Structure 1
Amino acid sequence: MTRLSTHDAIIIGAGPAGTSVALTLARRGWAVAIVEKRLFPRRKVCGEYISASNLALLDRLEIGDAWRASAGPQIRRVGFFSGNTRVEAAMPRARAGRCADDGFGRALGRDVLDTLLLQAAC
């Protein structure tokens, strides 16, 4: 029995890496399927901060404007806390981007980022 594939690539995992690969391949004309074991969107406590150095990638994936519209304010300081001890420092400014507010990173929930990437890939 011969089976014909309906996809050029099957991506396992619809997180940022998987959807970025799927989006890149789809824009090059590949028929792509994304397989994810969990229902989207999903909340995750990791990966909510995106540094300004990554905005060029989001722009290439054509979700940069949507990210800018949804992300929180610029993160200009970082702090570490342990008991009564606190250390704070200024965040480094990234090279100037295409928008005035691209100098610093910002936070966006993974559920929103994953949805932006998945919608762009489909």
Structure 2
Amino acid sequence: MIEVLEDMPAGVTGFRVSGHVSGEELRDFGSTMETMLAGDEIRLVEVVSDDYQGFGPGGLVEDLKMGLGTLVRHHSGFRRVAVVADKDWIRHAMHALGWMVPGELKLFGIAELDEAKAWAAG
């Protein structure tokens, strides 16, 4: 499941992933994501819930397509991306692949969500 977080500071976009995320869900979320990233500066908070189990059918392919497309279209707009997660494999993946994210990337634990929002807004 993907849900938009409504309680974000001004200028910050946030969403939460939980359970399995399917390709269909990602395709449906694509237009929402484009609307969320329409500004000049992108400040993003992505929360990976403790119950996140990865991708369901077609999810990985759609995630790669969406992620790469977003990076290409908005590359110069990325300022700060906060990833909020307690799962070790998410944290390891971000350490390994974080260099691909334009702008600043910082990892936070679930208990640090408010700090992540403030950092992204700063």
Query: TM class by shorter-chain length?
Result: under 0.3
Higher strand share: 2
Which protein is bigger by CA-based radius of gyration?
1
Question: TM-score, normalised to structure 2's length?
Answer: 0.26
Taking structure 1 as the reference length, the TM-score comes to: 0.26
Higher relative contact order (CA 8 A, sep 6+): 1
